[in-house]
A and B are shown apart, each in its own frame.
Chain A
């Protein structure tokens, strides 16, 4: 039973560039949420996708966008990268968009902006 998988593991970009991060949910899950975790901080909610639509969004600018595919996998795109975007980006999957089911996290993508 495959868990949540994220790629790539690490990424180094420069300011102004664009990046795409990918996530495959745990088998049987249909909902994907993305979080940003800066060093020494707690995860902060970016947005959640269910049924290929963005269902909820946190306090992140429009530079952060996403997509969910019919197979439930998801992408997070960040444009015009800033130094402050350096963080661990976490994907979490769960079952059912509107419910109490626990979210399970992938190993994350560590993004460094130079």
Chain B
């Protein structure tokens, strides 16, 4: 079992719809969770981070965290074709310094 798991996709949604991306993690002690967007051939770009149970909203993006279920999700409202990218879920490793453990990423395709 991988430490951080995501569905590889592709997740295809129509323009204007809500895209829902999911991530599960195995280390119950994990405290910090991050979502990165990566366009093909580019580097990861931080779009959201969440530390506490519940929802955190920033513009069209909402991150949701449920530590009891070891589940993190990212919702993208009013999806645009420019949102088409791979979304990487990352979890900070426990036990000290700031190592990030990534899931394999979910490829999102928003079609007009």
Asked if chains A and B come from one complex, the reply is: yes
Chain A contacts to B: CB under 8 angstroms: 31, 33, 35, 41-45, 48, 50, 55-56, 58, 88, 90, 92, 94, 96-108
For chain B residues 18-42, which have a beta carbon within 8 Å of chain A?
Answer: 31-32, 34, 36, 42
Give the distance to chain A from B89, nearest Cβ to Cβ, in Å: 9
Which of A41, A55, A92, A102 touches B97 (beta carbons < 8 Å)?
A55
- Taken together as a complex, chains A and B put the C-alpha atoms of A31 and B104 apart, in Å, by 25
A sample of 14 inter-chain contacts (CB < 8 A) reads A33-B98, A33-B99, A41-B104, A45-B99, A48-B99, A55-B97, A92-B100, A94-B98, A100-B98, A102-B34, A102-B49, A105-B36, A105-B46, A108-B43
- Taken together as a complex, chains A and B put the C-alpha atoms of A43 and B32 apart, in Å, by 17
The reply to whether A98 and B100 contact each other, CB–CB distance below 8 Å, is no
A42-B88, A42-B104 given; A98·B98 CB < 8 A: yes
For chain B residues 65-112, which have a beta carbon within 8 Å of chain A?
Answer: 88, 92-93, 96-105
Chain A residues near B100 (CB, 8 Å)? 33, 35, 43, 45, 92, 103
The reply to whether A101 and B98 contact each other, CB–CB distance below 8 Å, is yes
Chain A residue nearest in CB terms to B4: A42
A42-B88, A42-B103, A100-B32 given; A105·B44 CB < 8 A: yes
Give the distance to chain B from A60, nearest Cβ to Cβ, in Å: 12
